[in-house]
Amino acid sequence: MTNPAIEGAAKKTPDGLARRIRGLSDRTIAWIFVAPTIFLLLAVNIFPLIWTIRLSFTDFRVNRPNNEVEWVGLRNYQRILSDPDIWATMQATAHFLIWTIILQVLIGFTLAFLINKKFKGNDLWTTIIVFPMMLSPAVVGNFWTFLYQPQIGLFNYAIAFFTGADPASFSMIGDVNLAPWAIVIADTWMWTPFVMLICLAGLRSIPDSIYEAAECDRASKWRQFWTITIPMALPFLMLAVLFRGIENFKMFDLVVQLTGGGPGNTTTLTSIDLKREAFERWRTGYSSAYAVILFVTVFGLASIYVKALNKVKER
């Protein structure tokens, strides 16, 4: 039991303790504990990823099992990057991403700020506000189509009630100009609470003593807000933006149920487009290349963003 390798593996275990351990060595236990997880992740995450990369250089199609599969080199990538429709879906995705993040950060932060005033019963109301994000986006998204119905839908009726417009005169999910906003509204309703919770954690992490010191210096509340609250909460805000950004880049369930990508291609986000290519047209090779491009994009953007985030944290 004096094997140096085991000593190394049990580094965290205090000196002199290792030799007292009976049964399996720490190293063995470590592997027994980690192996199933690693195996499952390899099988379900890593192996498919490699397979996708491999397929992306072929013209394989699932629905043509009898066709011979050919290597086509970079043709799939060339086709995707030169396809104007793909750029249109990227634009739709960008519109969705940018506006959901802006709205959710604004509303989420405001709510967190208000909740942090610790009025009576604030935790119950916080819980109620959190409801939407706990629910199934597909099921709720499906019901939002009902709320958005002209005439019979509650949303149109409410808008009409407050603006005096005819509730049948506009259709949130049927109109080319309104549909991109319909999905932004539904997503904001659903995910603002998430941003709110993160912001709340940020606000609560600011020690009272800083405010007390500022108060002694006779800094105005307004000034305290801009010089203490915002800078201290900024890393949390940025984190919330990161998570919402990644999640909404992947967005599928809510939007597919709401608009199905229409009208036209106005709400065809990349995931919806990818689903069409992969599971309706069954262009497996082509859509694998598409998936790889998406992965590289989100991974690249996220890495850059995380670097920026770390800089802010260090300040």
Partner 1 sequence: MSFSVTEPSLRTKWFAGFLVIGYAIITLIPLVWIIATGFKSPADSIAYPPVVVFEPTLEGYVNLFTDRTRATEQMLEDAGPPTTWYEQIARDRGTVISGPSRYGERFLNSVIIGFGSTALCMILGTMAAYAFSRFKVPLKDDLLFFILSTRMMPPIAVAIPIFLMFRNLGLNDTHLGMILLYTAVNLSLSVWLLKGFIDEIPIEYEEAALIDGYTRFQAFYKVVLPQAATGIASTAIFCLIFAWNEYAFAVLLTSGNAQTAPPFIPTIIGVAGKDWPAVAAGATIFLVPVMVFTILLRKHLLRGITFGAVRK
Partner 2 sequence: MRSKLFTTASAGALLAVTVASTAQAEDLTLCWAAWDPANALIELSKDFEAASGHNMSFEFVPWPNFADRMLNELNSGGQLCDLMIGDSQWIGGGAENGHYVKLNDFFDANNITMDDFIPATVTGYAEWPKNTPNYYALPAFGDVVGWTYRKDWFERPELQAEFKEKYGRDLGVPASLEELKDIAEFFQGRDIDGTTVYGAAIYTERGSEGITMGVTNALYNYGFLYENPEKPYDLEGFVNSDGAVAGLEYYKALYDVGTPPGSSNWYMGENIDAYRSGQVAMQMNFAFIWPGVEADENVGGGKSGYFPNPAGPAGQFAQLGGQGISVVSYSEKQDAALEYIQWFAQPEIQAKWWELGGYSALKAVVEDPDFATSQPYAQTFLDSMAIVKDFWAEPAYADLLLSMQERVHNYVVAGDGTAKEALDGLVRDWTEIFEDEGKL
By the rule CB under 8 A, 259 interacts with partner 2: yes
Among 150, 193, 202, 245, binds partner 2 (CB under 8 A): 150
Judged by beta carbon distances under 5 to 8 A according to partner kind, the member of partner 1, partner 2, none in contact with residue 105 is: none
Measured from the CB atom, the residue of 235 and 263 that comes closer to partner 2 is 263
By the rule CB under 8 A, 265 interacts with partner 2: yes
Measured from the CB atom, the residue of 72 and 274 that comes closer to partner 1 is 274
By the rule CB under 8 A, 280 interacts with partner 2: yes
Piece in contact with partner 1 (CB under 8 A), picked from 66-74, 97-105, 173-181, 268-276: 268-276
By the rule CB under 8 A, 23 interacts with partner 1: yes
User: What is the phi/psi pair of residue 71, to 5°?
Assistant: -80, 130
In the window 162-181, what residues touch partner 2 (CB under 8 A)? Answer: 166, 168-176
By the rule CB under 8 A, 122 interacts with partner 1: yes
Among 72, 92, 179, 239, binds partner 1 (CB under 8 A): 239
In the window 84-113, what residues touch partner 2 (CB under 8 A)? Answer: none
By the rule CB under 8 A, 83 interacts with partner 1: no
Measured from the CB atom, the residue of 37 and 177 that comes closer to partner 2 is 177
Tokens, residue 119? 């009025």
By the rule CB under 8 A, 83 interacts with partner 2: no
Judged by beta carbon distances under 5 to 8 A according to partner kind, the member of partner 2, partner 1, none in contact with residue 281 is: partner 2
In the window 159-198, what residues touch partner 1 (CB under 8 A)? Answer: 167, 189, 193-194, 197-198
